[in-house]
Structure 1
């Protein structure tokens, strides 16, 4: 990976982050005004964040990710980390060993 492989932060990225926050908030049936209250911001600011007209701070992203049950990676990049149990990992390892012998 080179320095030219990175995307710059722009209004499109800001909008996508806001839309992910809004979708998760709605899915969790959390009112925007309630999320704004936890973040100690006005509901208008919450609306601006969700519509891509304002940025979240790092502390806000930290709290939002906990409330919405997602990773900050997901909020920023739209990618969810795959988590598996130890039992699942052992099963996958067993399958790989079976088919690579």
Structure 2
């Protein structure tokens, strides 16, 4: 069974909001995280706004940049 596109977008937004929440709690700017991950600041913005479907590699890079376990990125309500 295929995942409905609306569901995918909803989870992308929730994940992005969670990443932003962690980043702000750590008092990091988007540029700080982007620099560690070797991404553009706009890439971090797109992720946080749920406008991109990110890979596992990207999730691992973000978790490392923010010094959290990857599982913390998924601590949001359905």
Structure 2 counterpart of 1:11, from 9, 16, 36: 9
What's 2:34 paired with? 36
What's 1:54 paired with? 52
Cα offset for 1:77? 5.0
Q: Which runs of 5+ in 2 are unaligned?
A: none
Answer yes or no: is the 8 Å Cα contact 2:18–2:75 preserved in 1.
Answer: no
Task: Name the CA shift for 1:53/1:62 in 2 (closer, same or farther; >3 Å).
Answer: same
Relative contact order (C-alpha < 8 Å, sep 6+): which is higher?
Answer: 2
Moved over 4 A (4+): none
- Superposed CA RMSD in Å reads 2.3
Whichever of the two has the greater Rg, that structure is 1
Answer yes or no: is the 8 Å Cα contact 2:37–2:65 preserved in 1.
Answer: no
Q: What TM-score does the superposition give when structure 1 sets the normalisation length? A: 0.61
